[in-house]
């Protein structure tokens, strides 16, 4: 660490995690604090925007203070503040951005707004010592399933995206149908760990076309039919015995993650690129990692995942990308706005 080292404070509050982190020169994590609201939303089976906003408001100052304490740093030592300002839940984004503006004003620090999905990409890039661009990048989370061609840390061309549900949302809803706990991705992974992924057939959506788009909502209906039969009512008993839960979970998860992996390979082939980056909450998934590694190896493609701690929402990726934005002279003013859409 030299006197030139840039310490960026990152703040993230776009969905249901209140997070702050300090990262040196966009690479070295000095401290990272994540306050998850999972317990507050679990009873509802998904994120309730009103509850999320109020929870961010309660915890944001404590999270920032704890981040500085863990870093053993004073605000004067910071070079700038980076904050997620798009896309996300409006009320949640507003809390983080307002807090960041107040701190930037009080501490007289520059501020920059960060795109949440591009920050998920940065989390994966941080695992590579000297990235050589371009990459095909998959961001797959509860809110997003998108494929990009990344030509630098700041240049991402959208190649395809989900036309309906995100893959994480699909896993969350499937888990709710199976009466597994929220969030559904980790629950399905756990319940299906020893199941047979070939025991139930789920059609992998949109694979018969050249398109790099995804569609996951039909898979929920397919699952419902498997569980209760066509023409089902929610009150009908399962036609699949519950002892088959492990097999259903393994098969469903397999169909979702194979689709993701196969579209990544297709994007690589279409763009003549041999490297894939994967970030976002679903990138924690062990079956996705395994299938992606296998499929990529078959096609001589190198796959790099964000570390699990930086796959789900965190502020390390915000501080990291913030560093790159400051370095590219893209600082914002205190008029920084929030945007629900990308
Ligand atoms: O990135 P994230 O924290 O929030 C959004 O930006 O959406 O992702 C949360 C999503 C949830 O849908 C959750 O079920 C999923 O990531 N997830 C997983 C795993 N861990 C989290 N999905 C599959 N397997 C996992 N191990
Ligand atoms: Zn996210």
Residues 180 and 96 in one domain: no
Residues 147 and 291 in one domain: yes
| Conformational region of residue 200, where left means phi above 0, alpha means psi within -120 to 50, and beta covers everything else | beta
Q: What is the pTM of this model?
A: 0.94
Structurally, the chain folds into a number of domains equal to 2
What parts of the chain have a pLDDT lower than 70? 1, 231-240, 242-243
Output the domain CATH number for residue 15.
Answer: 3.30.420.40
In a domain, 248, yes or no: yes
Q: Does the beta carbon of 15 sit less than 6 angstroms from any atom of ligand 1?
A: yes
Residue 229, pLDDT score: 72
Q: How far is the CA of 293 from the centre of ligand 1 (A)?
A: 19
Q: Does the beta carbon of 172 sit less than 6 angstroms from any atom of ligand 1?
A: yes
Asked if 334 contacts 98 with a C-beta cutoff of 8 angstroms, the reply is no
In a domain, 172, yes or no: yes
Residues 59 and 190 in one domain: no
Residue 235, pLDDT score: 64
Residues 113 and 262 in one domain: no
Residues 211 and 295 in one domain: yes
Q: How far is the CA of 199 from the centre of ligand 2 (A)?
A: 32
Residue in the block written with tokens 């998108």: 146
Residues 262 and 322 in one domain: no
Asked if 217 contacts 203 with a C-beta cutoff of 8 angstroms, the reply is no
Residue 114, pLDDT score: 98
Residues 301 and 317 in one domain: no
DSSP per-residue letters across 123-191: HHHTTSSS--S-EEEEEESSS-EEEEEEEETTEEEEEEEBSS--HHHHHHHHHHHTTPPSSHHHHHHHH
Q: Whose CA is nearest to atom 3 of ligand 1?
A: 312
d(CA 185, CA 314): 17
List the one residue out of 286, 122, 292, 266 whose CA is nearest residue 206.
266
Residues 84 and 203 in one domain: no
Residue 236, pLDDT score: 64
Residues 55 and 140 in one domain: no
Neighbouring-strand partners of residue 149: 136, 157
* Burial (CB count <10 Å: 0-12, 13-18, 19+), residue 230: exposed
Residue 161, pLDDT score: 96
Residue 239, pLDDT score: 65
Q: Does the beta carbon of 143 sit less than 6 angstroms from any atom of ligand 1?
A: yes
Asked if 112 contacts 100 with a C-beta cutoff of 8 angstroms, the reply is no
d(CA 186, CA 253): 11
In a domain, 333, yes or no: no
Residues 286 and 150 in one domain: yes
- Could you list which residues have their CB under 5 Å from ion ligand 2? 141, 313
In a domain, 2, yes or no: no
Range of the domain at 317: 7-121+312-327
Neighbouring-strand partners of residue 111: 81, 332
Helix boundaries (H) for 87-130: 90-107, 116-125
In a domain, 36, yes or no: yes
Residue 7 CA neighbour count, 13 Å, CB half: 19
In a domain, 255, yes or no: yes
Residues 271 and 180 in one domain: yes
In a domain, 261, yes or no: yes
Q: Does the beta carbon of 59 sit less than 6 angstroms from any atom of ligand 1?
A: no
Residues 134 and 283 in one domain: yes
Residue 250, pLDDT score: 97
In a domain, 321, yes or no: yes
């Amino acid at each position: 660490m030299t006197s030139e080292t840039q310490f960026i404070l990152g703040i993230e509050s776009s969905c249901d995690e209140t997070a702050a982190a300090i990262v040196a020169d966009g690479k070295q994590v000095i401290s990272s604090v994540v306050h998850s609201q999972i317990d507050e939303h679990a009873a509802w089976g998904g994120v309730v925007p009103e509850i999320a906003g109020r929870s961010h408001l309660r915890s944001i100052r404590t999270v920032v203070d704890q981040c500085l304490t863990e870093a053993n740093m004073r605000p004067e030592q910071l070079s700038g503040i980076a904050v997620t300002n798009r896309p996300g839940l409006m009320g949640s984004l507003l809390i983080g951005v307002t807090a960041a503006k107040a701190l930037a004003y009080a501490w007289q620090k520059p501020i920059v707004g960060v795109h949440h999905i591009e920050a998920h990409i940065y989390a994966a890039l941080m695992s590579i010592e000297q990235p050589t661009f371009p990459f095909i990048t998959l961001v797959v989370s509860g809110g997003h399933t998108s494929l990009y061609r990344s030509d630098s840390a700041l240049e991402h061309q959208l190649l395809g995206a989900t036309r309906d549900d995100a893959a994480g949302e699909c896993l969350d809803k499937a888990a709710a149908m199976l009466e597994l706990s929220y969030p559904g991705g980790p629950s399905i992974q756990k319940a299906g760990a020893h199941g047979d992924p070939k025991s139930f057939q789920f059609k992998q959506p949109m694979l018969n076309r050249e398109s790099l788009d995804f569609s996951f909502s039909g898979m929920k209906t397919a699952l419902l039919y498997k569980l209760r039969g066509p023409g089902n009512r929610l009150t009908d008993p399962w036609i699949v015995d519950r002892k088959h839960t492990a097999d259903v979970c393994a098969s469903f998860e397999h169909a979702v993650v194979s689709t993701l992996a196969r579209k990544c390979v297709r994007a690589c082939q279409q763009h003549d690129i041999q490297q894939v980056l994967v970030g976002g909450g679903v990138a924690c998934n062990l079956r996705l990692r395994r299938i992606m590694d296998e499929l990529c190896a078959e096609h001589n493609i190198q796959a790099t995942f964000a570390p699990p701690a930086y796959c789900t929402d965190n502020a390390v990726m915000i501080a990291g990308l913030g560093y790159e934005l400051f370095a590219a002279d893209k600082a914002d003013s205190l008029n920084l706005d929030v945007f629900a859409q990308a």
